[in-house]
Amino acid sequence: MTEPSVTPPADGEDQGDDAARPGSRASFGLPPRRRGRPSGPDRVALHVRVTLDVDALVTEIVDHTGAGPQEVVEEAVRRYAAALRRSGKLPKDPADAPGPGRSVIG
C-alpha cells in the first residue's frame, strides 16, 4: 500500500492549524496543544463577586467533590430555585416569572 502524496498549498492558500508557522509549537517540534474538553451546553458569562467565606465554601466543595466551581455554582442555583418554587416565592412555571426589575424574593 502506498502513502498518499501531500501537495503543499499554493501561496495564499489556508494552511490550517497543522502548518508550522514561525513561532508555532510545530515549528519548535512540539505536539499540538490539547483542544480542551468538548463543548457542552451553551453558556453565558455571569460575573459575580462573593465574600471570602463563600469563596472558601466553594473551594471546600470543589476539593471534596472534584467538581469544578462552575458545576458547584450551577447546582447551588438550581437547588435554591427549587426551594423557592416549593415555598411559593418563585413561580412554579418559569414562564409565569415577572419581568425585569420586579423582585420575586421577599
Per-residue pLDDT tens over the stretch 26-45: 888 887 777 766 778 888 88
Evaluate whether residue 61 is within a structural domain.
Answer: yes
φ, ψ of residue 98 in degrees (nearest 5) = -70, 165
Q: What is the mean pLDDT of residues 2-6?
A: 52
Evaluate whether residue 58 is within a structural domain.
Answer: yes
Specify the pLDDT at position 24.
78
Evaluate whether residue 30 is within a structural domain.
Answer: no
Domain that holds residue 59: 43-94
Read off the pLDDT band of 8 (50, 70, 90): low
Burial class (CB in 10 A: 0-12, 13-18, 19+), 85: middle
Read off the pLDDT band of 19 (50, 70, 90): low
φ, ψ of residue 74 in degrees (nearest 5) = -60, -45
Evaluate whether residue 105 is within a structural domain.
Answer: no
* Number of separate domains in the chain: 1
pTM above 0.75, yes or no: no
Evaluate whether residue 17 is within a structural domain.
Answer: no
Specify the pLDDT at position 10.
54
Specify the pLDDT at position 30.
82
Q: Can you tell me which residue has the cell 413561580?
A: 91
Evaluate whether residue 1 is within a structural domain.
Answer: no
